[in-house]
Chain A
Amino acid sequence: MDDFFERMAKKYVDEEGRRLKEEMESLGMEGGPPKITPLKVKRQLNQLNYKKYLTFAAPVAAAVLILFLAKGGPQNQTSNSAEAQHEIINLSFTPPENFSISKIMQDKGETIYYIEDKFEDDVTLTVQKKQSPLSGPEIFGLKEILINDKKAYIIQKNDYSILKFVSSGNLYTLTCKYQPETLISLGGGLI
């Protein structure tokens, strides 16, 4: 009896597969790289020592843009003497297991941390002194979320994601190339 069911089932899947292929073609979904990579799959795939194809470029570009906008453009430059007085703002947390700080830079009042994610969704973190909460243009277009019951602001763009929040007198701005979840995971230790 099982042989009969086996023949029947194999006939079915062959015919059903042919029908599904036609459906795929009619939808224009035949082949091609996916636009959306499910996070869980992407992260696990990235653990397979796949060819490293991500760079810091997008997060860095986003960070530079944020720095530029935060300064209000080029007219708000500080003097070299003032720049020399800025000190690195240390992070008072240990990054989660999959993150490691690869580089630290100081740009005037802002400390920039380059954080490698072993799942290859690397993060750029900028920290600067700020006492007042984020408001107005600082959070324009960003979505308010709660991390550890504290307000944070996030946005996912095509090329990068941004997370901003003020905590313990510092403004933290995190960017990464892919998933906002990466930022939330890291931000949870900072906020």
Chain B
Amino acid sequence: MFVFENTSDKDKFEYIFNKYNKFLIYKAYRVLNDTSLAEDAASEAFIRIYKNIKKIGDADSNSTLCFITVIVKNVALTMLKKDKNNMEDITGYDTPSDYNLENQVISKEGTHKIIDSLTEPDKTIFLLKFAYGMQHKEIAKTISSTENNVTVRLHRIKNKLKEIIEKGGLANG
């Protein structure tokens, strides 16, 4: 049930719905190649957006559009059952050595290339965590996963990104 704490959230949700609904259906269709399924995916995405309405600031911002697109793509991919449950044991995973990433400056293109190297499900988790500041529990709810799974996957994602950056190539000082 949609129950908003205040009219501001309600107005924001309605605004987002009216502005981006068609686009989200389109995005879901690009994944699912089926109009009916794409509408279902958009519908589900809006329910998840509703649940995270507090995380959304300016409804017109680039960040918001990216957020809702990430959500709908995640839903669509889940519907395609491409979102495999990565619950493998992380024991023995080759953890990179300490590396001073703080000093790294990565170009806009480099940033895109690095993050786009992740699978869509991993990219979703990474962005929800670091761009939108969501807690693991919140991410788990948003992508219909478990908190433990999110934690494990985030660990692996971070290590993977560190490896990519350490290997250089994408760094641009």
Q: Which residues of A contact B (CB under 8 A)?
A: 1-6, 8-18, 20-21, 24, 27, 29-41, 44-45, 47-48
Choose among B17, B19, B104 the residue that contacts A41 (Cβ–Cβ < 8 A): B17
B102 in contact (CB, < 8 A):
yes
Given contacts A20-B69, A41-B47, A48-B2, contact A8 B19 (CB under 8 A): no
Contact B63 A14 (CB under 8 A): yes
Contact B44 A34 (CB under 8 A): no
Expressed in whole angstroms, the minimum distance between the Cβ of A180 and any Cβ of chain B is: 13
Q: List 13 A-B contacts (CB under 8 A).
A: A4-B102, A5-B101, A9-B115, A9-B126, A13-B63, A13-B127, A14-B62, A15-B111, A24-B23, A31-B19, A32-B18, A34-B18, A39-B43
> Per DSSP, are chain A's interface residues mostly helix, strand or loop, or mixed?
helix
> Per DSSP, are chain B's interface residues mostly helix, strand or loop, or mixed?
helix
Contact A6 B23 (CB under 8 A): no
Q: Mark B97-109, 1 if CB is under 8 A from A, else 0.
A: 0000110101010
Chain B residues within 8 Å of chain A by Cβ, number: 48
Contact A16 B62 (CB under 8 A): yes
Q: Mark B111-126, 1 if CB is under 8 A from A, else 0.
A: 1101100000000001
Expressed in whole angstroms, the minimum distance between the Cβ of A2 and any Cβ of chain B is: 7
Which residues of chain B are within 8 angstroms of A27 by Cβ–Cβ distance? 23, 26
Given contacts A9-B130, A11-B108, contact A44 B63 (CB under 8 A): no
- The CA-CA distance from A37 to B39 in the complex, in Å, is 8
- The CA-CA distance from A35 to B25 in the complex, in Å, is 11
Q: Which residues of B contact A (CB under 8 A)?
A: 1-4, 10, 14, 17-19, 21-23, 25-26, 39-40, 42-44, 46-47, 61-67, 69, 101-102, 104, 106, 108, 111-112, 114-115, 126-127, 129-133, 158, 161-162
Given contacts A15-B108, A17-B65, contact A3 B46 (CB under 8 A): no
Expressed in whole angstroms, the minimum distance between the Cβ of B113 and any Cβ of chain A is: 10
Contact A21 B111 (CB under 8 A): no
Contact B21 A34 (CB under 8 A): yes
Residue of B nearest to A18 (CB): B62
Expressed in whole angstroms, the minimum distance between the Cβ of A43 and any Cβ of chain B is: 10
Contact A38 B131 (CB under 8 A): no
Contact A8 B67 (CB under 8 A): no
Contact A29 B26 (CB under 8 A): yes
Which residues of chain A are within 8 angstroms of B25 by Cβ–Cβ distance? 34, 36
Contact B64 A17 (CB under 8 A): yes
